Structure 1
Amino acid sequence: MVDRMLQFTHVQQHQPDKRAVPERREDFNEIYRSFSVQAAKVQSSRCSQCGVPFCSIHCPLSNDIPDWLKLTAEGRLEEAYEVSSATNNFPEICGRICPQDRLCEGNCVIEKGFESVTIGAVERFITDHAFEAGWVKPITPHLEREQSVAIVGAGPGGLAAAEQLRKRGYQVHVYDRYDRIGGLMIYGIPGFKLEKEIVTRRHALLEQGGIVFHLGAGIGDVDDDHTIAFSTLRERHDAVLIATGVYKSRDIGGPGVGLPGIVKAIDYLTASNRRSLGDVVPDFDSGLLDAAGKHVVVIGGGDTAMDCVRTAIRQGAASVKCLYRRDRANMPGSLREVKNAEDEGVDFVWLAAPEAFLGDNSITGVRAVRMKLGLPDATGRQSVDPVENSGFTLPADLVIKALGFDPEPLPTLWGEPALEVSRWGTLKVDHASFMTSLQGVFGAGDIVRGASLVVWAIRDGRDAAASMHRWLQQHAAADAQLNIQAAE
């Protein structure tokens, strides 16, 4: 047991060791090693236990971070796990993929001068240790309810909602068009950030708790061999949560944009992850989605772009460049990921944007123009303007567009014109209840807020589940009253 906290004045910050760059470039295993019990205790003891914990305030889940840091420092690891998991359904995942430098750690009160507490690494350690010790148990509801709910989408938001509702005893059915649960956690995020066994371990636990998964089950406007009509889903269940995420890739214009060899980030990452999972991927085997031996240019500056450039390195690309129209300080992705990418050999071309794609039968180069930052736009970010006569060309055999994602047109795809969406295509919901324009149909995660972080999807899923529980109980009470009146 430590004598006290506030050890930051003489204990330096130490992140878990990284595997050596030459080693990690050769595989898709996670690059960070795990803390030992002693290292986790020492690093947790650096917490200042401040009166106003900005780390918790800036965590979308409002995790009780100072509490589980103190418990870890004292060696009370099972209690630390209980506190950590009380507010977060998947702390071992958030500990790996959350951009802590922009959230909890970036707002740690000792950050200025002493470097922040290593919150993410300790969070990951706590739950990994809990799994190893056998403390993580399947859901065991105190009662079983007859009411059933459908969750459309097995990503982080849908899974968090499914677990919360199952804890309350509902019969929970999760529908997903893919053959594995996890959404972008399994097919979008590469293994060097999140090894797939971490997700499949949770899958097994959720099934053991009584959640029923219907995989390979897409939702559409009619019932057929491949899809279930959304109307059928509503008839089959007492309530429905739409947590599909956003998968429609944003595109880019310009001459030559249709040339072979220009691909979407989601297609590229999915192919790589499927290969790692042992699937046969024809577009990878043909070379279309394989960066081996190629000059790769990734367009974009978010975390998806970082995933693409680091994947290309591991596939054996001849060169990898990231083309981003703003500078390092204004990029939306995690700066920690940028540093990892640079260490692994990625070349960042800041303040540059593509204006044309060159080639005859396939892509051979990207003609780009230098950009300069201007006055803030309507969002508060500085505008970007092209610099005259600053064009240059980057050789490219593979161009990956990592420009973000938009919602699919669900009302059209599902034959539900009464399902209202915003002008951006996201679901319209009552933000107090998460109810959509359809009675008994709720929405949560990226399909409501737009492309965002896994941690925000988990938060939305938990909040939506609480609202669904209230609505279902009110509905059940009203039905019971009607039955009493009918009996009288």
Structure 2
Amino acid sequence: MAERMLQFVRLSQAQPEKRDVAARRSDFGEIYRYEQFDTASAPQQASRCSQCGVPFCSVHCPLNNNIPDWLKLTAEGRLEEAYEVSAATNTFPEICGRICPQDRLCEGNCVIEKGFESVTIGAVERFITDTAWERGWVKPPRPRAELAQSVGIIGAGPAGLAAAERLRLRGYQVHVYDRYDRVGGLMIYGIPNFKLDKAVVLRRWQQFEQGGIQFHLNCAVGQDISLATLRERHDAVFIATGVYKARDIDCPGSELSGIVPALAYLTASNRSNLDDPVPEFASGALDAKGKRVVVVGGGDTAMDCVRTAVRQGATAVTCLYRRDKANMPGSMREVKNAEEEGVDFAWLAAPDAFLGEGAVTGLRATRMHLGLPDATGRQQVAPIPGSAFTIPCDLAIKALGFDPEDLPRAFEEPGLPVTRWGTLKVHHRTMMTELPGVFAGGDIVRGASLVVWAIRDGRDAADQIDAYVRAKAGGKLAVAAE
């Protein structure tokens, strides 16, 4: 190990190179030149790992990935074994390697970060799994024995898919129900191509179907099928719908045309890039081409919106956020990418009113200053009197986060308990709701969060569902008849 690892003292950190700014502003291709992070550079970067006794990268990873282990295997050129170790704890390592905020999680807590810069964990993770796909090491989730018991999963996003794969490997008949026409949830319709190429998600859909997971798309629970029917049909049900209800601000002028929620804007762009007919995009209502754009918000969704607007040909793009750069909730890498691509940031500014007659023509905002921390530890913000200013805009996008929909009403199941925030209430050890056999996880339980946390919840829920079904069957499950 001493010869191959601990190379951080002589090798500098090297992230995958980015494409030229002018080139990446003109299309929706992934911005990193992943092909340059190859079988030579990836093992070199992996060899920088210090193999520390208490790996903070694993501790701060929601999936507790065995990161030092697969870094060591990569450094030794044992890529298939590295893939097996990575896939043992992560259902979608190639997706996490692309979109996880590594600067806040694994890489941000790397032991060698102080003084030597962290190991490029995300890039190596992506490289390992992309190599596994190229060489045919990624196999459909086929069980050794088929069980008679079935599980219904509501939602084909990361939590639902992670649970589906884990349950399928144990032999369950898995049925996934989703109201949209493709598998992937926000990974398909919310995250732009320049961060996550849709082919990366769609190949997982194909792989899961080959493994026997059955998908029922364009199927909205509560409309096309009831939760009660699913409970009768399956031995257990897992709710992983995510959160899609856009948060709003009560500003004068909000009724003007040209003011849209972030998800509607991103979905229209992603559908257009998938060659779907999108009337609102074709009409220009959800297309930023030739427009002055203002995005209100400071999270990763806001960064997705501003960078999408740049690629659509907006004449000016401004991000308005009421705190400063250091207090933004989104990834600093995404902020840096947006700055490189020409996005202007109006820090410490909050919206007062949308201006215009019939259609929005501007946003009036007030300068803010940071005060003392509140009960959550974040600094409070307060307006600076007499500091109002106006940003001209033809398209205003609200990227203020997401809240859960009213699932008890949507599912026509008043017995489905919710918290005071509207998320589903579960017993956190079992992940089961008050309805026997109905489990929940992902954003619909924890609130809007990261894809990696949804994967964690899906995998944990699968374990709890398996334990519940086995206990209900007296410890022995029936094998399906051939």
TM-score by length of 1: 0.96
Question: How far 1:136 sits from its partner (Å)?
Answer: 0.6
Query: Could you tell me which of 420, 424, 443 is aligned with 2:440?
Result: 443
Please tell me whether residue 354 in structure 1 is matched to residue 351 in structure 2. yes
Counterpart for residue 176 of structure 2: 174
Distance 1:4 1:480 in 2: 47
Per-residue CA deviation, residues 387-424 of structure 1 (Å, 9 max, x unaligned), is: 01000000010000000000000001111111000000
Question: How far 1:478 sits from its partner (Å)?
Answer: 7.3
Amino acid at match of 1:450: G
Counterpart for residue 400 of structure 2: 403
Please tell me whether residue 29 in structure 1 is matched to residue 29 in structure 2. yes
Distance 2:145 2:179 in 1: 30
Matched position secondary structure for 2:370 = strand
Matched position secondary structure for 1:56 = helix
Question: How far 1:471 sits from its partner (Å)?
Answer: 0.3
Query: Could you tell me which of 201, 206, 213 is aligned with 1:204?
Result: 206
Counterpart for residue 57 of structure 1: 59
Distance 2:15 2:133 in 1: 21
Question: How far 1:378 sits from its partner (Å)?
Answer: 1.8
Residue segments in structure 2 that go unaligned for 5+ positions in a row: none
Amino acid at match of 1:15: Q
Question: How far 1:133 sits from its partner (Å)?
Answer: 0.6
Distance 1:480 1:32 in 2: 47
Distance 2:312 2:110 in 1: 37
Query: Could you tell me which of 69, 79, 82 is aligned with 1:80?
Result: 82
Question: How far 1:480 sits from its partner (Å)?
Answer: 8.8
Counterpart for residue 43 of structure 1: 45
Amino acid at match of 1:278: D
Distance 1:114 1:337 in 2: 22
Counterpart for residue 485 of structure 1: none
Amino acid at match of 2:426: V
Residue segments in structure 1 that go unaligned for 5+ positions in a row: 482-488
Cα pair 1:246 1:405 within 8 Å, conserved = yes
Distance 1:50 1:439 in 2: 44
Matched position secondary structure for 1:138 = coil
Distance 1:480 1:446 in 2: 31
Cα pair 2:73 2:81 within 8 Å, conserved = yes
Query: Could you tell me which of 248, 262, 266 is aligned with 1:265?
Result: 262
Query: Could you tell me which of 114, 119, 122 is aligned with 2:121?
Result: 119
Counterpart for residue 13 of structure 2: 13
Cα pair 1:2 1:73 within 8 Å, conserved = no
Question: How far 1:2 sits from its partner (Å)?
Answer: 8.8
Per-residue CA deviation, residues 301-344 of structure 1 (Å, 9 max, x unaligned), is: 00000000000000000000000000010000000000000000
Distance 2:368 2:231 in 1: 50
Per-residue CA deviation, residues 242-268 of structure 1 (Å, 9 max, x unaligned), is: 000000000011110111000000000
Counterpart for residue 70 of structure 1: 72
Distance 2:78 2:477 in 1: 46
Matched position secondary structure for 1:172 = strand
Question: How far 1:385 sits from its partner (Å)?
Answer: 0.3
Counterpart for residue 166 of structure 2: 164
Distance 1:441 1:165 in 2: 15
Question: How far 1:3 sits from its partner (Å)?
Answer: 2.6
Distance 1:318 1:380 in 2: 38
Counterpart for residue 392 of structure 1: 389
Cα pair 1:177 1:216 within 8 Å, conserved = yes
Distance 1:142 1:405 in 2: 40
Counterpart for residue 251 of structure 1: 248
Query: Could you tell me which of 233, 237, 240 is aligned with 2:237?
Result: 240
Please tell me whether residue 90 in structure 1 is matched to residue 92 in structure 2. yes
Shift in alpha-carbon separation, 1:292–1:2, aligned structure 2, 3 A: farther
Percent of aligned pairs sharing the same letter: 71
Counterpart for residue 456 of structure 2: 459
The residue correspondences of 1:181-220 to structure 2 (distance < 5 A) are 181-220=183-222
Counterpart for residue 330 of structure 1: 327
Distance 1:165 1:145 in 2: 10
Counterpart for residue 413 of structure 1: 410
Matched position secondary structure for 1:146 = coil
Cα pair 1:54 1:108 within 8 Å, conserved = yes
Please tell me whether residue 293 in structure 1 is matched to residue 290 in structure 2. yes
Per-residue CA deviation, residues 414-436 of structure 1 (Å, 9 max, x unaligned), is: 11111000000000000000000
Cα pair 1:55 1:103 within 8 Å, conserved = yes
Question: How far 1:173 sits from its partner (Å)?
Answer: 0.2
Matched position secondary structure for 2:360 = coil
Please tell me whether residue 380 in structure 1 is matched to residue 377 in structure 2. yes
Question: How far 1:479 sits from its partner (Å)?
Answer: 9.4
Distance 1:12 1:258 in 2: 53
Distance 1:340 1:441 in 2: 41
Distance 1:173 1:139 in 2: 14
Distance 1:231 1:349 in 2: 49
Counterpart for residue 134 of structure 1: 136
Matched position secondary structure for 1:127 = helix
Distance 1:78 1:346 in 2: 41
Per-residue CA deviation, residues 79-101 of structure 1 (Å, 9 max, x unaligned), is: 00000000000000000000000
Amino acid at match of 2:139: K
Distance 2:182 2:477 in 1: 39
Counterpart for residue 307 of structure 1: 304
Distance 2:63 2:228 in 1: 33
TM-score by length of 2: 0.98
Matched position secondary structure for 2:473 = helix
4+ residue runs over 3 A deviation: 478-481
Counterpart for residue 473 of structure 2: 476
